[in-house]
Structure 1
Amino acid sequence: MRELLVLTFGLIVCSGAEIRALNASWPVICQPSCDNHATCLPNNICQCFPGYMEQQGVCTPICSYDCGPHGNCIAPDRCGCDASYAWDAQIKRCKAHCSPACKVNEFCSEPDVCSCKPGYVHEQEVCRPQCSRGCGTHGRCVAPETCACFTGYEWNSKLFTCVPKCTPRCGSHSFCHKTNECKCLRGYKPDDGKSLSCSLPLVWWIYLIIALITIVIVCSVAGIIYYFVARGRNVNYYPNSNFYDTNRIVQ
């Protein structure tokens, strides 16, 4: 049974159990007081809220990614950008802000400063793509290191230039001289009027060489045949006598 003692001054004296219950319901106060992002634990200890960490007695927010040189972590996983910079959620960085906006193939490199993208050069107030090898007289550079050929031409990766295009393709010993016009290599003549395929013409000395080679082959074969025939006819059937039969007939 709870015992209360009412004094003449109107004060209420509580039992020990009631005092402990009141102390448990009162908030714990640390000295010095804790940071705004921390709570006070018993024994005068401050504990940072989740998403914060203690640095030199102050609870600072934690960002799982780097805010970059132009930003700082202002809340858990939230970056704040410097003046003239804006947060880009895709790259998770503070990007410079340009006003007015940059043109095609440009990017905002510094606040209100536009620069050409990599692979582009500034020419006549415009950022144009750059092709280090050039595209020749029959093509133009449409993207960094990428050429587009004019109509009637195609890209030759070995020559790094645009060359005439022939449809259908030129045949053996010929090349595309102009658009849809084939031409024979030096020393060759077309097999037809379109020069799609070319062959080496046979001049008189080539015919002479062929004739001489044919004669030599025929004579060689004839000589070999005659040699073996003559050798077979001159056979000595009686090596121990003086009789010699040239007709292979014994009477």
Structure 2
Amino acid sequence: MGVAMILLVLLLHTWHTNVSACNQQSHRDNRVPCPPACVNGFCNGHGSCTCSTGYIGAAPLNQICEPFCPVGCINSKCIAPDTCSCDPGYAKDPTVSTRCIPSCSPPCLNGECVSPNVCSCDSGYTEDPTGRNRCIPSCSPPCLNGECVSPNVCSCDSGYTEDPTGRNRCIPSCSPPCLNGECVSPNVCSCDSGYTEDPTGRNRCIPSCSPPCLNGECVSPNVCSCDSGYTEDPTGRNRCIPSCSPPCLNGECVSPNVCSCDSGYTEDPTGRNRCIPSCSPPCLNGECVSPNVCSCDSGYTEDPTGRTRCVPSSSRVSVADFNISTQSPITAAAVNTPTVSIPLWLILVLTVAAAGALIGGLLYYRHRRRHTAPPLVAETELDAEFSLLDRTIQYQKPHTEPPPPYKEWEQKPKFVSHHKRLTM
């Protein structure tokens, strides 16, 4: 369509030139002036103007001839044949002589000048808020701790590094990386809960124990790892106590395998974490079983003075003649003999032996009497007792005849004087 318009303009121009030539000829023939005078042309003598070459008549009556630009001026005005003058705010298009394009000063950066000093930003860019015909990259979401250097591309600030999530975010960088904490600004760590900053200052957070670990190391928040030779305190207060194996007996474990004896106890010379009772002065004939308390050896008894001393045990036994009578069969009022101190076990043996000898003597005496004439009267009360005992023993034998009736043998004895009994 542009070509057709150009052809139409050329045809009109040719026709107008021919008409102007005819008018000039008529003018020369008739010599009629044109009121007013023709501009950019001459009067053809018929009351109209004939335009010069490169100009075209303008209505009415074609009395003014204007410059003619065949392709037309864009954003400009035709001021001479095929010559355009740009409008204010526009500049010549270097590619088309008859076209003027908008001018922006300074030129648009990352955009197109669409009208005088007005820029249209390219895709991915946005107008610079400073208003200097500048379009800056756009990042969505905006860059955090960095600068948007191209559409959705951030350049991190110093001390920051790109977030691996890729969301236009720059995160602080700590070298070495934070241990048990978070890097909140370049080479600055914020410790996790239960941790505290390492005093060495190497971006390291160490576990915190409150109260601090005693005889151990804090390996996690409020958790202690005991040193060698120590074990966890059962009270659970971040305290490690010394360990003794075997456990201290009658003492307290004050350091690994070292016991401090309780009051009244002393260290066992065997060295096996054992404290033994202490007696002062040492036990004599006994064993110290608790502080200043002795357990006497066999055959010994505690000294009544209470001085951790054991003395030999003794018993008093009186052996004497008996004053025998029917009313008091056995008494010790007749004869007193000296006492003899002998051990208790020996007393028991002698007692059993004496009882056996007594019974044997009675049986022997009764046996002799059965083979001799019975006395008419009992000389002593002891004989009557022997007769009663002998009769009881015979009665208990299964193959002996029953004893005579009580009245036959229980006769009232006729006693003799004690002096005579002793001299018989």
Higher Cα Rg: structure 1 or 2? 2
Settle same-fold status: TM greater than 0.5.
no
TM-score, normalized by length of structure 1?
0.41
